Structure 1
Amino acid sequence: MTTLVIVGAGPRGTGLLERIAANAAELLPADRPLEIHLVDPHPPGGGRIWRHDQSPLLRMNSMAEDVTMFTDEFATIAGPVRPGPSLAEWARRQRECAPYQEVADPAVRAELRDLAPTDFPTRRAQSAYLDWVFRRAVADLPDHVTVTVHRDTVRRIDGPADGPQTVHLGDTALTADHVALTLGHLDSAPHPRHAADAAFAARHGRFHLPPAYSADVEAELARIAPGEQVVLRGLGLAAVDLVAMLTEGRGGRFEPTGDGPALRYRPSGREPVLHLGSRRGVPYHSKTDYRLQGPPAPLPRYFDAAAVDALLATDGPLELLCDIWPLMAKEIGFGHYHELFHAHPERTALPWPEFLARYDRHGWYSPELAALVTEAVPDPANRIDFERLDHPLAGVELGSAEELQAHLREYVTADADRRADPAHSADLGAFLALLSLFGQLPRLVAGGRLTARSVAEEVDEWFFGYFNFLASGPPGFRLRQLLALSEAGVVRFLGAGVRIERDETSGTWRASGTTVPGHSVTATALVEAYLPKHALARTLDPLLGELHRAGRVVEEVVSDPEHTHRTGLVTIDPADSRLIDPALGGAPHPRRTALGPHTSLRSAAAFARPRTNAPAFRQNDAAARALLRALAALPAAALVG
């Protein structure tokens, strides 16, 4: 009997289990039984982030048809492809999807019954889907593989590199031949930059909330008083969730105005006044709620494996913006123009084959390509402009706070209208091309060729921030709600370049932005309205913390003679996701694997859009095959079972 312990039973652990089920028949002999123990204090499938026990106001930022946990014919994996339904498909035919079990919550049952493919489901609905995916993965395991779930927390792992591992839970221990850490999204102690605001709040009896996951802070938010002036620093998904919980979550309601999709907000009287600002000063672009109008672009075309091979074969260090972004931008532009020419040819002035042949020949920043786009796409509104998208308030200076509110409402209305209108489906073409970049970007980062400064400033800070701003925004109806809250005076925009200062005399924060010079607001509560970034040195996960203190995991550090970048990520072997162990001279630990957002592979979400060859699925498959081979190769005398 061989034994595997998977620590973390959320989507990543479930995805690994699904790949074990797919690969076990090939790689694990029938005479080598495998006992799998999954350990997580939260329910398997959803785990902590996607557990059912969270506010029904919290939504996914993906349409139901764009969420899957299964590989398909587009997956470039060594293991078997095991297709399965998307969230939308599963909701429509649950009774046909074994093993069937009725969803317990009647509200979720009703939602799933009426769920359209282009709806943005609640996170509770996703929790139900993940619960089923987990149960299907278990059911798909061959007879010689069994699963036991422990609703517990792993505190420590010890054991020799060439022998059994002891996994210490709260009041018991498991002995394993291999351990996989699929810990998901983790908390860290607040960054030192938040310490001053936390101490300020404590001195003056004020409210301060560091970055946190929205589902975990509902009780904390209750401390904010009705009518209290609150600054929210951030305008992404976390801010949208927090605004919903502090408005609709306090009894307010939205209702149609009768004028198209516009909404009116009816306050309950228990809402605070929310002042929203960020570096860009505008909300993340909403997700589109339509499909491509033309045929899918054949992605990737420019930023593919061959292009990355060529970059890695060059001499000298590389930088993202100088050496790599031109290829990435050209790929995104290709997705945009492929959709524009095929779905909206009346807006173009050249045949697609001619445009593409000339587009192929020129670099992204070349005058020739700029001239081609000008010739082929007469209206600038139909061209893609990355700089304008990145800095929408650049150069905007307004004379008053009221002018700013009107300007932002106009901007948000235009964005919400555009993202709901399939006439602008070239935006979706660009989005899909942007997603395709993740097929090769991890190779470049892991290849060690990027300068440390480029990894720090251009990859981890700029690119991932830009990606989230363009491609990971809220559903469109959230922007309509934000507009209604602004009209009602519950939400006030601060503009770009937000700056927050502490006033010891009054015990308040003063917030200002660059869009209205000289204007500021005072607040008695400050909320860091963005998601926490895990840092190994400050981790609150007991297992990772213990491994770090014991010197058995190492933070990824990218350094060169000019710069050192501590990423906060746990270093793993990119080939098979084994943990790099300093006690083994920096070699991969033969019996410990780690997958997920806390690792140096910078993996995307544990679930993905169908037919996109998702990197997370490829990583799960490679890790599952490696650990199954390792378990099968262990001498029978060395097994723990």
Structure 2
Amino acid sequence: MKIAIIGAGPRGIAVADRLVARSEKEKVNVEIKMYDPYPIGGKVWNPMNKLNHSLITNTVVSQVSFFIDDSIENPGPIRQGPSFYEWIQQIAPEYLKGSSVGKTYLDKLDLKENDFAPRGLLGLYQQWFFENIRKQTEKNSSLAYEQTEIKAITPVNQQYKIDFSGTSEKFDFVFMALGYGENKYNDEERTFAEFAKRNKLSYFGPANPSETNLDDIPATQAVIIRGLGLTFFDYMIMLTENRGGKFVQDGEQLKYIASGREPIIFAGSRSGLPLHARGRNQKGPSEEYKPRFFTKNNLKNLKNHTGNLDYNSFFKLFDKEIQYKHYENLIKDPDYSN
């Protein structure tokens, strides 16, 4: 059986792991090939992208793992292995020394379990995990990766023909793990881009920030950032810390020390409000909160004869759960009890 996985990011790697685990259990010989124009980990986590030394993940290191556990429904055969945090503590120091790219991340390993790691370091964890999967393949099975771009996929009889540059190959199954695709400008964005071109300004549409060149933006230049989501923080880091500025702790707050090379940033969003700050992590990687009121049965009982939920009833149940958990946490807090 020949299987192609298009995309070598987290989803593609996870699919490869489950295919290898199940084929081993069921004694089925498989030939798996993964394809991606970027290194293992995909373009978002590409450790060769220098910006991924400073742009960070949006999940704390202790909450990231590629190894399946019992918290997943119908996971198939379970293999034990280190979470991202455990890998950083136990394996990464030696593993990173084995490549020129890995060595550049050796100074990024001083992380606590609730810290956020550089994206490139997570890309290296994914590369290590991919190598770990390959070691699990049976004698008559294989897992390979090729850094190349797919040109076309065509159904042929009961198979799929994949075209590369000048060659093609047939597969029995194809898994698409493409991640984020390139965005085409909508009418409004096209208007902005054309306005910028006419007036010799710079306009950067929706894209992966780590692949956007901001070097030509001079210091003190006015810059508008539209949106206050995750991409905003990437651009803020690129225009502040990456230009020599520093955020330092000042009591319970952060203070920014400018380098003088920053532009003047004007930021906003459609709601006019910044997004809520991320709360401090209080759970283990496999820990799951069990609701008391916001349960499947109670939600089912709220449905009317058409099968729909009344919003007010839904919100009351949700609010009840949140309040219950909030006061439970307060009672257990030693500072509050005293």
TM range (shorter): 0.7 to 0.9
- Distance in 2, matches of 1:228 and 1:11, equals 37
| 1:88 to partner: Cα distance | 0.8
Determine if the alignment matches structure 1 residue 25 to structure 2 residue 24.
Answer: yes
Corresponding residue for residue 589 of structure 1: none
Corresponding residue for residue 199 of structure 2: 204
Residue aligned with 1:245, SS: helix
Determine if the alignment matches structure 1 residue 80 to structure 2 residue 71.
Answer: no
| 1:23 to partner: Cα distance | 1.5
**Which whole-Å deviations, capped at 9, do the CAs of 1:360-384 have from their partners, x for residues lacking one?**
xxxxxxxxxxxxxxxxxxxxxxxxx
The alignment yields a C-alpha RMSD, in angstroms, of 3.0
Corresponding residue for residue 460 of structure 1: none
Which amino acid is 1:214 matched to? P
Residue aligned with 2:38, SS: coil
Residue aligned with 2:188, SS: helix
- Distance in 2, matches of 1:185 and 1:320, equals 34
- Distance in 1, matches of 2:122 and 2:57, equals 8
Q: 1:338 aligns with which of 302, 310, 328?
A: 328
| 1:190 to partner: Cα distance | 1.6
| 1:339 to partner: Cα distance | 2.3
Alignment of 1:88-107 (within 5 A): 88-94=85-91, 102=98, 104=100, 105-107=102-104
Q: 1:269 aligns with which of 254, 260, 267?
A: 260
Corresponding residue for residue 217 of structure 2: 224
Corresponding residue for residue 242 of structure 1: 235
- Distance in 1, matches of 2:183 and 2:104, equals 34
Corresponding residue for residue 110 of structure 1: 107
Residue aligned with 2:277, SS: coil
**Which whole-Å deviations, capped at 9, do the CAs of 1:421-470 have from their partners, x for residues lacking one?**
xxxxxxxxxxxxxxxxxxxxxxxxxxxxxxxxxxxxxxxxxxxxxxxxxx
Which amino acid is 2:66 matched to? M
- Distance in 1, matches of 2:326 and 2:84, equals 27
- Distance in 2, matches of 1:14 and 1:166, equals 22
Corresponding residue for residue 165 of structure 1: 160
Residue aligned with 2:203, SS: strand
Distance change (3 Å), C-alpha of 1:301 and 1:26: farther
Corresponding residue for residue 57 of structure 2: 60
Corresponding residue for residue 590 of structure 1: none
Alignment of 1:108-507 (within 5 A): 108-112=105-109, 114-160=110-156, 163-217=158-212, 219=213, 221-256=214-249, 259-289=250-280, 291=282, 298-307=289-298, 315-316=305-306, 318=308, 321-322=311-312, 324-343=314-333, 346=336
| 1:191 to partner: Cα distance | 2.1
- Distance in 1, matches of 2:253 and 2:335, equals 31
Contact 1:9 1:47 (8 Å CA) reproduced: yes
- Distance in 2, matches of 1:203 and 1:186, equals 28
Corresponding residue for residue 37 of structure 1: 33
Distance change (3 Å), C-alpha of 1:335 and 1:232: same
Residue aligned with 1:92, SS: helix
Which amino acid is 1:63 matched to? V
| 1:28 to partner: Cα distance | 4.4
- Distance in 1, matches of 2:66 and 2:84, equals 9
- Distance in 1, matches of 2:193 and 2:267, equals 19
- Distance in 1, matches of 2:181 and 2:123, equals 18
| 1:263 to partner: Cα distance | 4.2
- Distance in 2, matches of 1:304 and 1:14, equals 33
| 1:322 to partner: Cα distance | 4.7
Contact 1:75 1:81 (8 Å CA) reproduced: no
Which amino acid is 2:169 matched to? L
| 1:178 to partner: Cα distance | 0.6
Contact 1:103 1:128 (8 Å CA) reproduced: no
| 1:201 to partner: Cα distance | 1.2
- Give TM-score scaled by structure 2 length: 0.86
Distance change (3 Å), C-alpha of 1:247 and 1:110: closer
Structure with the larger RCO, 1 or 2 (CA within 8 Å, 6+ apart): 1
- Distance in 2, matches of 1:115 and 1:175, equals 45
| Equivalenced residues, count | 333
Distance change (3 Å), C-alpha of 1:61 and 1:298: closer
| 1:306 to partner: Cα distance | 3.8
Residue aligned with 2:131, SS: helix
Contact 1:62 1:287 (8 Å CA) reproduced: no
- Distance in 2, matches of 1:270 and 1:320, equals 53
- Distance in 2, matches of 1:191 and 1:332, equals 39
Which amino acid is 2:128 matched to? W
**Which whole-Å deviations, capped at 9, do the CAs of 1:74-106 have from their partners, x for residues lacking one?**
222251232322111111110799x99735433
> Quick one: percent identity of the two aligned structures?
28
Distance change (3 Å), C-alpha of 1:110 and 1:135: same
Contact 1:60 1:122 (8 Å CA) reproduced: yes
Contact 2:37 2:147 (8 Å CA) reproduced: yes
Residue aligned with 1:126, SS: helix
Distance change (3 Å), C-alpha of 1:340 and 1:47: same
**Which whole-Å deviations, capped at 9, do the CAs of 1:147-169 have from their partners, x for residues lacking one?**
22121111211124x51110112
Contact 1:232 1:274 (8 Å CA) reproduced: yes
**Structure whose alpha-carbon radius of gyration is higher:** 1
Residue aligned with 2:105, SS: helix
| 1:11 to partner: Cα distance | 0.6
Residue aligned with 1:209, SS: coil
Which amino acid is 2:76 matched to? G
- Give TM-score scaled by structure 1 length: 0.48
